[in-house]
A and B are shown apart, each in its own frame.
Chain A
């Protein structure tokens, strides 16, 4: 592999998210070759037709934030992009890009001296890049990642390992006594227990053996194709794998979705996977509802919001499809031990202020890259007072700060939810000896409802600054806020009332179990009588599927987790995020409304 090479530059700013690299609506196009022409279509429409092999992207911070979609990396790879130089990268994109054979280099400074069309020279041996007569140092590339690129990407690398007679290493988890050793963060405790490693510190690479792998239907065709490319005749342990049909089920994008459905069925049949859930709800909600993701265990999935189960003290993080294929075959998945930020939540949440407001407040403070490749670990009285559903909401959105995971301590509520004795999981708790990069402390007593405003999750404002803004549509649902508790909060506000005739109000329970319980409790009746449209449990509009897509300049308020440009409509649609209480209050009045004032 060449260590010195040059390429023509494309420049980008900060926080280039995966929706910008390849819009969600293009994410289900069955082949990368067909998809690649849509790369950056909203930001640089000329990119797909004019990018040349060997071109290099130069960007600001947090490049590749957002979803786990591997296509964001593979469309660049298939367009010939060889290298990306940025101030920092989002963690899943970082893995996906290397797995796709793209070199990523961190560099702060070159952004100020280049423009699109300039030539940059990369010298991997000297750890530097140069352009327009100036040189800048770049970060070193971990050897395991360099090897993947040198071998032609993860698929080729895995084929090579299999051809070499790969046999999984025997591994033994730490026993109960060992896992209780002090001095570790929650992420460190769970990863060392799973990997069977007594001592770990941030930056160490450990080989984990995930207890559960989950694939959802966006990625079934690509995963199946990748497994075939690798030549995998079997996977390591089909019983540790679940396939959930939720993004493309009900099938809604006609030219794409049924291919994902068929591929999911084929994947299950070909590799003997019996845990399949078709149209039963959103994957992340099912993963804890079905108890597939458990306290103290490691779970991974082909989705960025895999962080959700951290609400139960499960180390869980999203990966791309090539990496999933390799992990399914080997049963192994490497992780770099993350730095950790302790977040102490003191006080008690006032009525009308919810866990969504807590995480939005944190996101507004630390911004979309404030948790980059870190473990956000939550403790304090308010954290323990939160219900399990409320914790899952917080952990779900920890990802939006770029976090590797968002973890809560396991307590009696966790034990009750999973039906296990607390003594089995109480080692998933913080200890004073642990080393945290920093500690953030919040007094939630004074917290008010928060809204994430257009266009970025971290553009957070207290409700008093947004109150009165007219809304065209309100969406209540998603793996962030589609739980029975969320529906209960909204139903209480809407009981016996009606939204304005012109307000589109869409309710999507997270899972079939939630849906049925909401029917039994009368919430669905309340919503329908209030003027809502009810959709079957699925990811729906949260991931940009056709469940209420909006037009230019229309405003949508959603309980989902992302408001990236174009995600819920056109690139001119204005998207806001909020708690279920704010959503219900706003649906009722047609303008952003503080639920505490109703």
Chain B
């Protein structure tokens, strides 16, 4: 039996403690910016990437203050500082190399597994320590190999497949997921890898071949959604539903964006779906390209203009899974369906609103009828 990829990358077998130097350290202004307030030093500035990719443009003065803190920290230690580029994860997905390790202060570093890299989420405090000494220690997790079998049915995406997998596999918390999906492109893999750790798996990484422990049959997948939950800390416990159970639920707003809904592949799919259709009156649709590169491609292909004509609002490129104040938020009693990855109360506006996470296809269909 082949050694799992994570064990090969870390050079240690499951269950052993390993200390290593990550190739990349990622700090964004999602929550990880707290790390720079803690860090007293930066051991290896060349490995650190600072991205201001949430809350763009700044939705309140405090966010602007965070920008200043990150900018000054970057300047002090000679760290690469990026803004106006879009989602850090999506940018880095096209930069990291297979076998590399990234430690980040967010929640979805597993996305990098699509490129064969190991993305590890840590708390801001842990990230601060890694910034200071350049090392990280962990107990190598057990690997669960998952084969993705067959092809996605028409109108079903790899986000639906990830949610289907999570409903069928409740015992993956703390496990390293090794995904075999040679039929998928990088984007499909990235969406799957970023979402499949949503209930507590350690991380995910794609490999070319292997002996599977589990099989996910794509022909059995349907449209799925993550339902609302009460607090950010409970996001991993948010309920997952087949869309069929939510059919007819009224929705006031939709958002496609970020690395799970705003890449050029997503925008192309959404573009095809709006052709000949009309935005439902009273429905607000936000389109948020994942990166500035996606934005440019979408413009060059006429997609942005199509969305403008459709009545959508084109938001700034970036990570828009959590927007408490800024374009696209919802108000009291309203429901949003989004490709973003959070559904806790208040993540996209006021606490007494409801948020569902679903695929690009589900969001666009909702925009025709103002319902799920």
Contact = CB atoms under 8 A, between A and B. Distances in A.
Contacts of B349: 251, 254-255
Contacts of A534: 295, 314, 316-317
B84 A533 contact: yes
Nearest to B52: A504
Given A250-B284, A254-B349, A536 B314 contact: yes
Range for the number of chain A residues in contact with chain B? 35 or more
Interface in B320-350: 324-332, 334, 348-350
A533 B316 contact: yes
A549 B316 contact: no
A254 B353 contact: yes
B68 interface: yes
Interface string A515-558: 11001000011001101111110100100001111111010000
Contacts of B62: 551
Given A506-B57, A549-B58, A249 B65 contact: no
Contacts of B57: 504, 506, 533, 535, 541, 546-548
Nearest to A255: B350
Interface stretch (A162-170, A257-265, A316-324): A257-265
A465 interface: no
A250 B308 contact: no
Contact of B331 (A256, A528, A552, A554): A256
Contacts of A516: 305, 308
B313 interface: yes
A477 to B, nearest CB: 11
B65 A551 contact: yes
A252 B315 contact: no
Contacts of B60: 546, 549
A249 B315 CA distance: 12
Interface in A205-262: 249-259, 261
A582 B229 CA distance: 48
B347 to A, nearest CB: 11
Contacts of B350: 254-255
A278 interface: yes
B84 A258 contact: no
B63 interface: yes
Interface residues of B, number: 53
Contacts of A529: 296
A254 B331 contact: yes
A259 B331 CA distance: 7
A570 B299 CA distance: 35
Given A279-B311, A524-B299, A536-B314, A504 B327 contact: no
Contacts of A525: 296, 299-300
Given A528-B296, A536-B315, A550-B61, A255 B331 contact: yes
Nearest to A529: B296
Nearest to A522: B299
A251 B59 contact: no
Interface in A76-117: none
- What are the nearest 10 A-B pairs in CB distance? A258-B331, A254-B349, A546-B59, A548-B57, A254-B329, A250-B327, A551-B65, A551-B64, A250-B313, A536-B313
Contacts of A50: none
A549 B313 CA distance: 20
Interface string B35-70: 000000000000000000000111111111101100
A253 B304 CA distance: 25
Contacts of A547: 57, 59, 326-327
A504 B67 contact: yes
Contact of A251 (B81, B83, B281, B329): B329
Given A516-B305, A551-B62, 14 more contacts: A250-B286, A254-B349, A258-B331, A259-B332, A472-B68, A473-B64, A519-B304, A528-B84, A533-B318, A538-B327, A549-B59, A549-B60, A551-B61, A554-B68
B188 interface: no
Contact of A502 (B63, B65, B81, B253): B81
A251 B84 contact: no
B282 interface: yes
12 contacts: A252-B325, A252-B328, A254-B329, A279-B284, A279-B311, A501-B81, A505-B84, A515-B308, A519-B304, A547-B326, A550-B58, A569-B64
Contact of A258 (B252, B296, B304): B252
A512 interface: yes
Interface string A129-172: 00000000000000000000000000000000000000000000
A533 B327 CA distance: 13
Nearest to B60: A549
B329 A257 contact: yes
B311 A278 contact: yes
Contacts of B84: 504-505, 528, 531-533
A104 B316 CA distance: 45
B236 interface: no
Contacts of A506: 57
Contacts of A502: 71, 75, 81, 83
A372 interface: no
Given A531-B84, A536-B314, A554 B296 contact: no
Nearest to A499: B84
Nearest to B65: A551
A251 B65 contact: no
Given A261-B284, A512-B308, A535-B316, A548 B58 contact: yes
B82 interface: yes
B78 to A, nearest CB: 12
Contacts of A549: 58-61, 63-64
Contacts of B286: 250
Contacts of B330: 251, 254, 258
A418 B284 CA distance: 32
Interface in A467-503: 472-473, 501-502
A384 to B, nearest CB: 34
A194 interface: no
B21 interface: no
A547 B292 CA distance: 17
Given A515-B308, A550-B61, A265 B282 contact: yes
A506 B327 CA distance: 14
A257 B350 CA distance: 11
